[in-house]
Structure 1
C-alpha cells in the first residue's frame, strides 16, 4: 500500500486525501488546527463552486451539504455609471443583467465543510496529525512516504516553491479584500424567485460581490469588497472590530452600490468571526519544492497557482487540482513519484489552470473597449449573459470570445 503525506487541510488537501483514501492509499494528513478549531474559527474565504467543481465532490460522495446549501442558478453583473458616485446616493447603473447557469452553483462556508471533511477522513481510518508543519518537519517526515504534497497555501512552506515570473505578471497585490458573512440580506428585486451571485463593478474603484452561502448557522450571504489599493475601498487594514468591519462594508455599499445597500439595511453578522480582510499578489509558482535533505515535494492548488478571487475561482481551482492530481497518482501505479512525474502532474493541471489565470489577470486590469461592449451587450442579448455566466464554470471558453476584439466582434455579429 503506497503511503502519501498531505500537508494542509483545505479544499484541495482534504478532497485529495479523501479521494486517495477511497482508493486504498495509506494517507496521512497534517493540519495546523483541529476540526473543532476550524469550525469555531474565523472565516477563511469566500467561495462559490460551479458545476464542474461540485461534480468532483459528488464523484467522491463528499457533497454532504448539497441539499442544504442555496442553489445558485444565475450570475449577474452590474456596472456603476462612471462618475455617478461623486455625490451621495447618486450612483446609477450603466449595466445590469443576470445570466442563467446551465448547472447550479453552491457555496458552503469552509469552516463547515473542512471541519466535516476532516472528521470524515479520521472516521474512515485516515491518520490525522494536528501540527503546524515547518520545512524542517517535512524534511523529517517526507522520507517515510512515497509522495509528499504541500497544500498549505500560506506560511513558510510556500517559500520552497519558486515564483514563475513568466506566468506571474503582477508582483504586488492588485486588490484589497474585505469579507463579511451576514444574515438578513433581502432578495435582489430583479430576480426574487432565484438566487444568483451578483458582481457589482465600480470603475476605477473596485468590485462588490454578493453570494448566497451556507454557514454554521444556516443560510447566509457573503458581502465581499475588492478595492483597488490606495483607493476609497482600501480602508479595512486597521479594522479589528467585526461590527466596525460590517459598518464600513455597509457605508461603502450605500455610497457606491446603493441598489445593493437597499436590501442590506437589516443585515447582521453571522458570528463574531464572520469577517476577514487582507491582500496578496496573484502568483504562479514552480510546482516542485526541494527539502534541505534533497527530497522533493509537490505543490497543490494555490500553493502553485494563486489567483486573485475577483473571478471566484479559488475553491473551483482547488477542486479541479485535487481531481487532476488524484487521476495522475492513481494512473502512475507503483512507479516512483520522481521529479519528472511531479512536473507532468502539474502540467496536466495547468492545462485547465492556465485559462483561469489568464482570465483572472485580465479582469484585474481596466477592461478594453471590446470587453465593455461584451458586458453591455449582455444586457440586451440573453445568450451573451448566459455564456458569460457559464464561463465561471468553464473559463476556457473565454478564449473563444473574450480576450481578442476580433473574436468578440465576430461572436456578437453571429447573434445579430
Structure 2
C-alpha cells in the first residue's frame, strides 16, 4: 500500500485524497485549519462548478448538495457602453447544457474532511513550513503540494512562457448576500463587463443559511471601480458595492437594494498574479515535491475556472497514480502527468488571460453577434465547462470571421 501525503485541503487536495482512499492507498492530508475553523471563517471563493467538474465529484460520491443548492441554468452577459454610464450595448443570455452549482466552500471542505477521516485517512492540522517538507517527503512514496499559499507554492519555478503577467491584473472583492431583491430568484450567472473599469458577477449559491447570492467585483487597479480600499467594516464594503452598482450597473443594484450579508465573514478581498509554475520542486534532501491545483495553475477568477481546474486536475492525477501501480513516482512521471493536464488547462488559462486585457474588435463582434445568434450565445456559455471549444475561433480574427459567416449563412 503506497503512502501519499498531500499538503493542502482545498478542492484538489481533498478530492484527490478521498479518491486515493477509495482505491486502497494510505493517505495523509496536512492542512493549516480544522474543519470548524474553515466553517466559521471568511468566505473563500465563488466556485461556480460546471458539469464536467461536478461529474468528477459525482464519481467519488461527493455530490452532497445537489438537492439543496440552487441550479445555475444559464449565463447572462452584459457589456456596458464605454462612455455612457449605466447603458447596455451588449446583453444576451445563453443556456447551459447541464446545470452548474456554487456551494460555499465553508460547507463543502469541512464535510469532505470528515469524509476523508471516515475513510481512514490521516488528517494533520499543522501550518506547514518549507522546512517541514523534507520530513513529509521521507515518510511518503509521493508528496503532493496542493495549496496556492505563496511561501510553499514559490518553491516551484515560475513558467515564464506560460505566465504573461508579473503583477495582479484585478483587485477582487467578494460578498455573500441573502434575501436579494428581484422579480424572481436568480437562476443564472450574471456576467457584467464595464470597459476600462472591470467586471461584476452575481450568481445563486448555497451557504450556511441556505440559498443566497454571491457577488464578485473584478476591479482594474487604479481604475474607476477601484474604490474599496480603506473600508473599515463589511457593512461599509456592502454600502460601497451598492454605490458602485448604482452608478455603473443600476439593474444589478436593484437586486441588492434590501439585501444583507449572509454572516459576519461574508466579505473577502485581495489580489494575486495569475501564474503557471513548473510541476516539480526539489528539496534540500533531494526529495521531490509534485504540485497540484493552484500551486501550479493559478488563474484569475474572471472566467470561473479555478475550482473547475482543481477538480479536473485531481481526477487526472488520481487516474495516473492508480495506473502507475507499484512503480516509483519519479520526476519524469510527475512532469508527464502535469503536461497531460496542461493539454486541457492551457485553454482555460489562455481564455482567462485574454479576458484580463482589452478585447480586440473581432472578439467584441463575436460577443455582439451572440445576441443575434442563440447558437453562438449557447456555445460561448458552454465553453465555461469546456474552454477548449472556444479555440481557435475566439482567439484568431480569421477564424472568428469565418465562423460568423457560417452562422449568417444558415
Considering the TM-score relative to the shorter chain, is it more than 0.5?
yes
What CA deviation, in whole Å up to 9, does each residue of 1:40-64 have, x standing for no partner? Answer: 1001112101000000000110001
- What is the match of residue 176 of structure 2? 181
Are 1:62 and 2:62 counterparts? Answer: yes
Stretches of 4+ moved more than 6 A in 1?
A: none
In the other structure, the counterpart of 1:35 is: 35
- Residue of structure 2 in register with 1:411 after alignment: 403
Question: Which secondary structure state, in structure 1, belongs to the residue aligned with residue 391 of structure 2?
Answer: helix
Question: Aligned runs of 1:288-307 on 2, under 5 Å?
Answer: 288-307=280-299
Report the equivalent of 1:206: 198
The C-alpha deviation readout for 1:276-302, integer Å capped at 9, x for no partner, is: 100011000011011121100101011
Number of residues of Structure 1 aligned to a counterpart in Structure 2: 408
1:108 matched residue in structure 2: 103
Residues 186 and 204 in structure 2, CA contact (< 8 A), matched pair in contact too: no
The answer on 1:384 being equivalent to 2:351 is: no
Residue 414 of structure 1 and its aligned partner are, at CA, apart by 1.2
How far apart are residue 368 of structure 1 and its match?
A: 0.5
Matched, 1:97 2:92: yes
Is the 2:186–2:203 contact (alpha carbons within 8 Å) kept by the matching residues of 1? Answer: no
Partner of 1:41, secondary structure, is coil
Contact 2:11 2:109 in 1 (8 A): yes
Unaligned 5+ segments in structure 2 are: none
Indicate yes or no: 2:147 matched with 1:152: yes
Cα contact 2:52–2:385 (8 A) shared by 1:
yes
User: Bigger CA drift: 226-235 or 166-175?
Assistant: 226-235
Q: List gaps (5 residues or longer) in structure 1.
A: 86-90
Q: 1:71 to 1:3 in 2, by over 3 A?
A: same
Counterpart residue number, 1:361:
353
Which of 256, 263, 276 pairs up with 1:264? 256
Give yes or no for contact 1:237–1:277 (8 Å, CA) kept in 2: no
User: Root-mean-square deviation (CA), in Å?
Assistant: 1.1
Q: How many Å separate the matches in 2 of 1:412 and 1:148? A: 48
Q: In the TM superposition, what is the alpha-carbon distance from 1:2 to its structure 2 partner?
A: 0.4
Does the 8 Å contact 1:237/1:278 carry over to 2? no
118, 135, 156: which one pairs with 1:161? 156
Task: Output the CA distance in 2 between the equivalents of 1:77 and 1:46.
Answer: 17
Contact 1:50 1:393 in 2 (8 A): yes
Tell me the TM-score normalized by structure 1.
0.96
CA contact (8 A) 2:165 2:273 kept: yes
Residue 380 of structure 1 and its aligned partner are, at CA, apart by: 1.2
For 1:135 and 1:403, locate their aligned partners in 2 and report how far apart those are by CA, in whole Å.
Answer: 39
Summarize the alignment of residues 69-84 of structure 1 with structure 2, pairs less than 5 Å apart.
Answer: 69-84=69-84
Q: How far apart are the structure 2 equivalents of 1:166 and 1:155?
A: 20
User: Within 2, Cα distance between the matches of 1:289 and 1:220?
Assistant: 41
Offset of residue 168 of structure 1: 0.5
Deviating more after overlay: 24-33 vs 237-246: 237-246
- What is the CA–CA distance in structure 2 between the aligned matches of 1:310 and 1:155, rounded to whole Å? 21
The corresponding residue for 1:171 is 166
Correspondence list, 1:217-366, <5 A: 217-366=209-358
Q: Does 1:133 align with 2:103?
A: no
Question: Which whole-Å CA distance do the structure 2 matches of 1:208 and 1:254 have between them?
Answer: 13
